[in-house]
């Protein structure tokens, strides 16, 4: 029963920000100013993915240098990444799916995990492993709001963070679902703004996102 051990911790993190930005760092120099810009706009929970070689270094820099940031690690796909991310300063993890090896790694590392699911059967499998907070991924291809509303009845004890295909224009629709605590999105960190060092734009996007709230 992994997630059950961290139920309150994971849920508290999900409820801290209505939107969790999905961050891919291509230039390590962007890590700290980006995190500061997001926190300044009211978005404190940051998911730094391991999709680039700078992922762990960015997590460490944000965790050490950005007060108020709650830094997590995303795109966990291999068991050995859990301990490395925890040691870098991550306080939670996010995975695109869930396997027995990832469950074991979450348990051994002590890193609270928000695992990805796409179908009702995957939700039930994750629940049997002790998880009650899940990431619906990819949310829009998985059925979006319709899927979330449909499974809210038979799987009423699950709280979701839908991620994948969500934008500022559709986020409110997802947050209106009774089984959604927050959403994940990459629109808060557009690549052009990062490359230009336009941190004011990032803060503006974060401010707009922080004003969204789950029902």
Q: Is 167 exposed, middle or buried (0-12, 13-18, 19+ CB in 10 A)?
A: exposed
- Do 40 and 68 contact (CB within 8 A), yes or no? no
Active site residue 47: yes
Q: Is the peptide bond before 48 cis (omega within 30 degrees of 0)?
A: no
**CA–CA separation, 118 and 23 (whole Å):** 21
Active site residue 122: no
Q: Which of 9, 47, 178, 191 is catalytic?
A: 47
Q: Which of 64, 122, 128, 135 is catalytic?
A: 135
**CA–CA separation, 136 and 120 (whole Å):** 10
**CA–CA separation, 13 and 97 (whole Å):** 19
Nearest to 208 by CA among 62, 40, 24, 27: 40
Residues known to be catalytic: 47, 135
């Amino acid at each position: 029963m992994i997630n059950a051990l961290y139920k309150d911790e994971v849920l508290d993190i999900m409820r801290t920000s209505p939107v969790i930005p999905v961050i891919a760092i291509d230039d390590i120099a962007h890590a700290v100013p980006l995190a500061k810009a997001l926190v300044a706009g009211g978005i404190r929970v940051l998911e730094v993915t391991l999709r680039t070689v700078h992922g762990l270094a960015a997590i460490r820099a944000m965790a050490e240098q950005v007060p108020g940031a709650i830094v997590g690690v995303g795109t966990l796909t291999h068991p050995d990444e859990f301990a490395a991310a925890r040691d870098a300063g991550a306080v939670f993890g996010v995975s695109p799916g869930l396997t027995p090896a990832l469950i074991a790694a979450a348990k051994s590392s002590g890193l609270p995990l928000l695992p990805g699911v796409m179908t009702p059967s995957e939700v039930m499998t994750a629940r049997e492993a002790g998880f009650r907070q899940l990431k619906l991924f990819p949310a829009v291809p998985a059925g979006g709001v319709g899927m979330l509303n449909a499974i809210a009845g038979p799987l009423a004890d699950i709280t979701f963070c839908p991620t994948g295909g969500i934008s500022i224009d559709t986020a409110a629709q997802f947050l209106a679902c009774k089984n959604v605590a927050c959403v994940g999105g990459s629109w808060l960190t557009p690549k052009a703004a990062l490359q230009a060092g336009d941190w004011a734009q990032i803060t503006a996007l974060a401010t707009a996102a922080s004003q969204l709230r789950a029902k």
